[in-house]
Structure 1
């Protein structure tokens, strides 16, 4: 699913920049484009970022950038609803009854965790395996984000280098005063490209990936706690309360939890009614 927020945000930044350029330069806005300067800044920042982040190759960097624009994750709220429904099945028919519904789950991590519970894996082993996978996921996300942050750090430096190169070239042509102004403008463009790449592209995408990573880790933490609760035979309503505590604000006002939770069993309701009547009778006597 395309992340419209990221696309619209970058588009808004591009529109603001274009408006600033056209408002200041008018029909001469084409002077703000210099392909060699742009290639020097972008190419230099990408190569330097890859050198600084050896664990991230070109293909993986492309996947990291793509992930900022495409969201395939399940929200923590949807995950809780799914786990509560599975807990109701496990409580009613046993954990082995989850085999068929689990096979149809979209998220691989959730499938693997629940399959370990179905296979009878002990609680400690299940939790250890899942936590190891979460740590590995967090490390991969940190590496991708670090590559973008490195590019943001190096881009202004390459812009400044391009500007200095342009100034050296311009100063070597001081015998032609008519070329000093255009030469200085071209030299300064490289600095503009470096600042733009860092602050309009790399840093926003890095922050977006950090947010996406925190959401994914939260969702998978909810999965681990939910699977452990299902394995322990927790009441679905109790399990929902535990998992909801992981949401910001405890999930209050985020989902109609009462309508999504399974109804209380008739036997439990009858016993609660009987207990209440007995208490009322005792207090009356």
Structure 2
């Protein structure tokens, strides 16, 4: 479970509700069925219009990504590439073919297989960069879905408020209940703004960050593979990979088996 997503939602809603109570409000007045239908289903409908059905089926997966932790195997990728570099330096690139059978990460396996097969370095780079671009484009669909929902939600809230006011102004026979009816009409706007800024847009931001993390791991792997193919010294390879890590690995451990990257893959 990604604790920051849960913590953020709890803190956000707690802050709003607690602040409302401090101002003397009653929590029961914030809950109304009709605004929920207008805002939630209206936003969902508007967002669904802009996305193909095949992509919409991935909605549960997008939510899972936002609420669950993912490991991108960046440090294991570092040690795997260093090991491959040292072995290739000592025994040649063909010696890596047997090692490759233990690699579960498809991106690393594909890149190293191209190297072992003697593919031109530029072609190897082009193929791997295309894979990264395809992954980014696939991820953008989920990000765009929640960003769109964040844009539509406040507007649907305003529509709900206008509808409520129309209903109020059409029933002015009871002036005593007028203030309460107007207040209830604005609940839809509250829902629309809150859902946009506490749910939809934060989830889009979380998906965007996780996309960047996975892409950074793949770019590190790409640089490592090209360096191995060009026969660079393992010491130089280490320094290159550390620039991608952004930090010094806690310890220089020996290779303990190829890694399995946990891709976001949404």
Q: Fold conserved (TM > 0.5)?
A: yes
2:86 aligns with: 88
- Give 1:202 deviation, angstroms: 1.2
Q: How much does 1:260 deviate?
A: 4.1
Name the counterpart of 1:273: none
Q: CA deviation at 1:25?
A: 4.7
Cα deviation for residue 55 of structure 1 reads 7.8
Structure 1 CA distance for aligned equivalents of residues 82 and 158 of structure 2: 56
Q: Where in structure 2 are the equivalents of 1:158-177 lying within 5 Å?
A: 158-177=156-175
For the Cα contact (< 8 Å) 2:72–2:213, is it kept in 1? no
Match of 1:7 in 2: 6
> Which among 222, 225, 235 is matched to residue 233 of structure 2?
235
Does the 8 A contact of 1:229 with 1:239 survive in 2? yes
C-alpha distance after superposition, 1:35-69 (max 9, x if no partner): 22112211111221232344873222332232122
SS of the aligned residue for 1:135 comes to helix
Q: Which residue of 2 aligns with 1:18?
A: 17
CA distance in 1: counterparts of 2:6 and 2:101, whole angstroms: 34
Q: Could you say which residue in structure 2 is the equivalent of 1:184? A: 182
Contact 1:7 1:69 in 2 (8 A): yes
Are the aligned partners of 1:151 and 1:202 in contact in 2 as well (CA < 8 Å)?
Answer: yes
Work out the CA distance in 2 between the residues paired with 1:57 and 1:70. 20
- Cα distance in 1, alignment partners of residues 192 and 113 from structure 2: 49
Kindly indicate whether the alpha-carbon contact (under 8 Å) linking 1:73 and 1:216 is maintained by their aligned counterparts in 2: no
Structure 1-normalised TM-score? 0.80
Whole-angstrom CA distance in 2 between matches of 1:100 and 1:36: 63
Q: Quick one: distance in 1 between partners of 2:232 and 2:129?
A: 21
d(CA) in 2 for partners of 1:122, 1:206: 38
**Tell me, what secondary structure is at the counterpart of 1:220?**
helix
Alpha-carbon shift at residue 114 of structure 1 (Å): 1.9
What is the alpha-carbon root mean square deviation over aligned residues? 2.3
2: CA distance, partners of 1:34 / 1:100: 64
Structure 1 residues without counterparts, runs of 5 or longer: 263-285
Q: CA deviation at 1:104?
A: 3.0
Alignment of 1:206-285 (within 5 A): 206-248=204-246, 251=247, 254-256=248-250, 259-260=252-253
Which structure 2 residue ranges, 5 or more long, are not aligned?
256-266
Q: Counterparts of 1:73 and 1:116 in 2: how far apart (Å)?
A: 26
2:234, 2:48 → 1: CA distance?
47
Output the TM-score relative to the length of structure 2.
0.86
For CA contacts below 8 A with separation 6 or more, give which structure has more relative contact order. 2
CA contact (8 A) 2:55 2:141 kept: no
Count the aligned residue pairs.
Answer: 255
Q: Distance between the aligned counterparts of 2:253 and 2:147, measured in 1?
A: 41
Counterpart in the other structure of 2:49:
51
